[in-house]
Amino acid sequence: MKTEPVLEIKELDVAYHTLTDTVVALKGVSLSVAKNEALGIIGESGCGKSTLFYAIMDYLPVSSSRSGEILFKGEDLVVKTPKQMTKFRGSKIAMVYQNPYSSLNPSLTIGFQLEEVSMFHHGMSRKEARQAAVETLSDLHLGDAAGIVRRYPHQISGGMQQRICIAMALLCKPDLMILDEPTTALDVTTEAVILDIIKELKDKYNMSLIYISHDIGVVNKVSDRIAVMYRGEVVEFGNQNTIYKKPEHPYTRALINCMPRAGVLKENTQLNTIPGYVSRRSAAETGCPFVARCEKRNATCEEKYGMVERKPDHFSACDRAYATDIPDKVLSKEAGSIPEGAEPEHKTILKIDNLYKYYGPHGKRIRALDGVDLTLDRNNVLGVVGESGCGKSTMGHTISGLMRPTRGKIIFDGTNISVSWRKRSPETLRDIQLIFQNPGRSLNPSFTIENIIGRPMLKLLGIKSKQKRRKLIVDILKKVDLGEEYLFRRPKQLSGGEMQRAAVARAFSIAPNLLVCDEPTSALDASVQASVLNLLVDLQKDSGAAYIFISHDLNVINYLSDYIMVMYLGRICEYGKKTEVGGSPRHPYTEALLSAVPDVDPSLKRGEIRLHGAPPNPTKKIKGCPFAGRCHRKVGSVCDTTPPPRVNFSDTHFAYCHISPEVLNSEISVKGIKK
Amino acid sequence: MEFLKRFAKRLGFTLLTILAMSVLIFFLVEIMPGDVAQTVLGQSATEESVAALRDRMGLDDPLHERYLRWAGGFIRGDLGESLYMRGVQINTIFWRKVGHSVVLALTALLFYVPLSILFGVFAGVKEGKAPDAIISFVGLATMALPEFVSGIILITVFAVGLEILPIASIIPIGENLWQNLDILVLPALSITFVMFGYVSRMQRSSMVSVMKADYIRAAILKGMPRKYVIFRHALKNALLPTITIIGMNMGWLFGGLIVVETLFGFPGLGSLTMSAIKTRDIPLIEACVLFITFIFVFATFTTDMLYAFLNPRIRYKRGDA
């Protein structure tokens, strides 16, 4: 190594002690970060990513122990006293957290929270500190820096809050910045802007970065070298391209195959699933941490295990990722496993006509849905995508009857159901089911799984016999890969993935014809998400139900849907078949959205459209195109004054835009998915 | 702007509550069994004297007229005439007693608010350790003692045993409260006994949850010293629930100290109410109860406003600064 590493971790062990036993959180972690290098760390929840940065910052709970060496510019942080650590924290090593809103103190002004950093570490007066804060803020392209420092955190948008947090970390020009999922809570277009800023500032301040995330795509954008962690160990360490193209550890390989990514569609590939779950690690355990869930395990897993440089600059703890004695799982589907030629019945099941939904009192009303039309056929999956506040969830909730539309019609199977659920017929209630984002909060914690799944059967199918219901419940549980033993468990006893599968089972227990899925996998880890997505695909194929799949994640939408609808501020931007919207997006917003999507495959370089600013205030009545204020291809004042016309590109593909159809058609965007 | 709107709205509700309560109090007294005049004069009174009193009190007038006369009197500041102490205007004794009660309440606040917040914060940051356990135990123990028990203990120790404080809170004739400030100490201490556990536990639990917040972690990992984090970052957020609790008890403190005042013989609103009830002095009862209601409602209103003022999320809605 040419330069002295800024941070070098050697054989770091961290364990948490409870009264009865010891849980290993980190085991033998060795990593180094060179000057101005960005190191990415990926892993699922429970793999020790957060413990790692807590260990570096000496912020572990009292009931824990730490051993090994953490050399920061040659000084061992493990032996520092808490008082000595305050000299490093915030000044030499700075942090940026996942949730900017909760990381800022709600009752102190932004200025105050920025100033105190310089006042403590550099002994500045409040006036000098304010000056420094304003200067740093302008580095982050925050327009009115002097105004922002007087505000409270809740008064600015999420993207701005995260920039404030980054500014706070930058104030003392740290040598090392640790970013813990800094963009996970943000919208994808905001994420892209923040990632750009991080990259830019890294070089400007000549900092080293450790970027922690569960999302390989995001890590790819910032860092060159990636460490993969699993159950407290670094299992693989290397360049982003080699990690993606030829992962050397079975876990990395399995994880990448779990992720919906470019070129992977439900028609051609099944997502990989990893059986079992991330279990706690006891002190007695030796050998490979992944062995229990690994499909390539054999007798050598115990003794042959250990970090070895397999290729130049590529370390892995296992050499069995491509072992041929155990064949790979077949993930590609044969053509025709989903009958594409023999188009299934083209029966329209849902028709929405000019749907409006307003919230709030007159004058301050929020236009959550501002005139949405759509039709959905049986057997089809409509993916609805858009950033937070675009009305996608509101649409799902009005369709499922959780709330009544302000205006407009929802026709389901020939009946007008634009009323609240109380006025819907039992058949309609049964036919439309809903799956929520967070199963932990949408399943009643005091009910058993049998009660949760059985209740709609009793109420909506009128199955009075408990025996009969139980038989049906066991059948449906088997379909979602949960055994009979789950009947009497309660949601708290289930893992996140199991809970969501139970929620899917509840929705399917009464054979609905339309399923509204509101971000059903957003709270889940990649491997768990894969199993839920596979399940949804299989159940759809079997039942012929139609799905409305709402998500902010374009990779997931692209994998699962047949049609894609892009929404912005309560209106439709673009609608079409998956190949049309995903392959050749026409609307500038879709273009920008696609270009912002983080790719799992680092060799895919998408366009560089960055949206600045935030969506306009939803309480203001918008005369023209809602996207006009942020559009990079704005035509002129017509965009602000006149609603955009509908432009048809094919029978199924249209967009609402002022750009002339010829231009939209000819400049077929290069920003789409290209291989 | 938001704040003013909130202020106006809450004030409206406050006034409405007082109006509703005044009606309720008036009619409760009205529907009490027996004839008021008869009750006042006793069983041996002649029919003529009862009729004469009824006439003098205006008891034969229609209900709404009597209510308006009574309520109107209050608004003008005329609380009426005491029945028990014939010919004495309630005004002449009432406000002096209210003044005494206010002084006592403020003294008690001065005792227990800083004490319980300080110990609550201390227990909160030492969560699960010995100081936390000790403070929680003391709080629970003092809270479990009714004020007449803790009061007697205090009297035994400070007045009987150490003889440093007076046994009863009596103001000698011809003197006023300011010349006898020592009589405030024991009643205030006994209120502190009741409130300490309550408020310190509240403060502790809000401190515990605030210390676990992401922004506290962020402040510590910014390199801020621990004391600074506790007092500048955590306390302001952790005070909000405590303020609600203190405010909610303000009504009790200013108007409901019947037990404490009776125990120590403190000449305040509580003992006045007590003696009014004992002597069935109806106009005085009405005055006391309405005034106590007023204090309760107003204390709640003040707390609400204070809370809104301390919480920037209420003070400024998103966007306006």
**Predicted confidence (pLDDT) per residue in A452-476, tens digit:** 999 989 988 888 899 999 999 999 9
Average pLDDT over residues A261-289: 84
Min CA distance, A96 vs chain B (Å)? Answer: 8
Instruction: Tell whether A536 and A619 lie within a shared domain.
Output: no
Quick one: average pLDDT of A588-600?
88
Position A474 scores a pLDDT of 92
Q: Looking at residue A675, what is its pLDDT?
A: 31
Using the Cβ of A434 and the Cβ atoms of chain B, whether some distance falls under 8 Å is answered with no
pLDDT over 50 (residue A356): yes
Residue A657 tokens, joined: 């835009």
Task: Compare all CA atoms of chain B with the CA of A154 and give the residue at the minimum distance.
Answer: B318
Q: Kindly report the nearest CA distance between residue B237 and chain A, in angstroms.
A: 7
- Tell me the sheet residues that pair with A332: A269
* Pair (A555, A578) in one structural domain: no
Closest-CA distance, B223 to chain A, in angstroms, reads: 4
Residues A585 and A540 in one domain: no
| Other CB atoms within 10 A of residue A468 CB | 11
Asked if A617 and B236 come within 8 Å (Cβ–Cβ), the reply is no
Cβ burial, residue A586 (10 Å; 0-12/13-18/19+)? buried
Lowest mean pLDDT among A398-407, A449-458, B70-79, B133-142: B70-79
Q: Same domain, yes or no, for A270 and A371?
A: no
- Angle subtended at Cα A436 by Cα A351 and Cα A514, rounded to the nearest 5 degrees: 30
Looking at the structure, do residues A557 and A573 belong to the same domain, yes or no? no
C-alpha distances in angstroms, A103 versus A158, A182, A191, B307?
A: 11, 11, 17, 22
Residue A382 has what pLDDT?
95
Chain A residue with minimum CA distance to B311: A107
pLDDT at site A503: 92
Closest residue in B to A105 (Cα–Cα): B215
A406 burial type by CB count under 10 A (0-12 exposed, 13-18 middle, 19+ buried): middle
pLDDT value at residue A38? 93
**Cα torsion at A35, A37, A38, A42 (round to 10°)?**
-90
Residue B227 clears pLDDT 80, i.e. is over it: yes
- For residue A13, being part of any structural domain is answered with yes
Please give the full DSSP string across A42-55, using - where no structure is assigned.
E--TTSSHHHHHHH
Residues A526 and A405 both lie in one domain: yes
DSSP assignment, residue A321? T
Question: Where do the DSSP E strands lie in A73-186?
Answer: 75-76, 93-96, 176-180
Instruction: Give the percent of chain B with pLDDT over 90.
Output: 18
> Does the distance separating the beta carbons of B213 and A59 come in below 8 Å?
no
Which chain B residues are within 8 Å of A59, Cβ to Cβ?
A: 217, 220-221
Give me the pLDDT at residue A479, please.
85
Averaged pLDDT of chain A:
87
pLDDT grade, residue B234 (50/70/90)?
very high
Q: Which residues of A touch B211 (CB under 8 A)?
A: none
Percent of chain A past pLDDT 70, that is, above it, reads 96
Shared domain check, A442 and A353 = yes
Alpha-helix residue ranges (DSSP H) falling in A480-521: 496-508
pLDDT tens digits for range A489-523: 999 888 888 899 899 999 988 889 999 999 988 88
CB contact under 8 A, A155 and B311: no
Question: Are A358 and A410 found together in one domain?
Answer: yes
Contact across the interface for A168 and B217, Cβ inside 8 Å: no
- Selecting from A103, A147, A152 the residue whose C-beta is nearest the C-beta of B312 gives A152
Scanning every residue of chain A, which has its alpha carbon at the shortest distance from the alpha carbon of B127?
A62
CB contact under 8 A, A104 and B215: yes
pLDDT in tens, A162-212: 989 999 999 989 999 999 988 888 888 888 888 988 999 999 999 999 999
pLDDT score recorded for residue A2: 54
Query: How many other CB atoms sit within 10 Å of the CB of residue A601?
Result: 20
For residues A317-341, average pLDDT: 72
Structural domain includes residue A168: yes
Structural domain boundaries in chain B? 2-76, 94-315
Nearest Cα residue in chain A from B214: A103
Residue A231 lies in a domain: no
ipTM of predicted assembly, 2 dp: 0.82
Instruction: Determine which of A97, A107, A144 to mutate to test the interface with B (most B C-beta atoms within 10 Å).
Output: A107
> Across all residues in chain B, what is the average pLDDT?
83
Judged by CB atoms closer than 8 Å, whether chains meet at A116 and B224 is answered as yes
Residue A328 lies inside a defined structural domain of this protein: no
Class of residue A55 by CB neighbours under 10 A (exposed 0-12, middle 13-18, buried 19+): buried
A195 and A276 together in one domain: no
Question: Please, which pLDDT band fits residue A334 given cuts at 50, 70 and 90?
Answer: low
- Picking from A87, A91, A106, the nearest residue to B237 by CB comes out as A106
Question: Angle at Cα B153 formed by Cα B152 and Cα B156, nearest 5°?
Answer: 85
**Which residue type is seen at A381?**
V
pLDDT digits (tens, 9 = 90+) for B164-174: 777 777 777 77
Residue A299 binned pLDDT confidence (cut-offs 50, 70, 90): confident
What are the chain A neighbours of B320 within 8 Å (beta carbons)? 155
Look at A89-93, A300-304, A321-325, B128-132 and tell me which has the smallest mean pLDDT. Answer: A300-304
Q: Do A107 and B312 make contact, defined as CB atoms within 8 angstroms?
A: yes
Rounded to an integer, the average pLDDT of B240-248 is: 86
Domain of A397: which CATH number? 3.40.50.300
Q: Which fold has domain B94-315?
A: MetI-like fold (1.10.3720)
Q: Which positions in chain A touch B227 (Cβ < 8 Å)?
A: none
Cα B61 to Cα A495: distance, rounded to the nearest angstrom? 74
Mutate to test the interface with B, among A51, A77, A155, A177 (most CBs of B within 10 A): A155
A163 and A46 together in one domain: yes
Domain with A105, as residue range(s), is 7-223
| Interface residue A267 vs chain B (CB under 8 A) | no
Q: Which residue would you say has higher pLDDT here, B176 or A340?
A: B176
State how many domains chain A has.
4
Mean pLDDT of B33-57: 74
- The stretch A364-391 carries a mean pLDDT of 89
How many C-beta atoms surround the C-beta of residue A342 within 10 A? Answer: 6
Q: Do A208 and A265 have their domain in common?
A: no
Residues of A in contact with B214 (CB under 8 A): 97, 99, 102-103
What's the pLDDT score for residue A671?
A: 44
String of DSSP letters for A217-274: HHHHHH-SEEEEEETTEEEEEEEHHHHHHS--SHHHHHHHHHS--TT--TTTBPPP--
Regarding whether A214 and A165 lie in a shared domain, the answer is yes
Touching check for A104 and chain B: CB below 8 Å?
yes
Look at residue B33 in the predicted model and tell me its pLDDT: 65
Portion of chain B with pLDDT greater than 70, in percent: 95
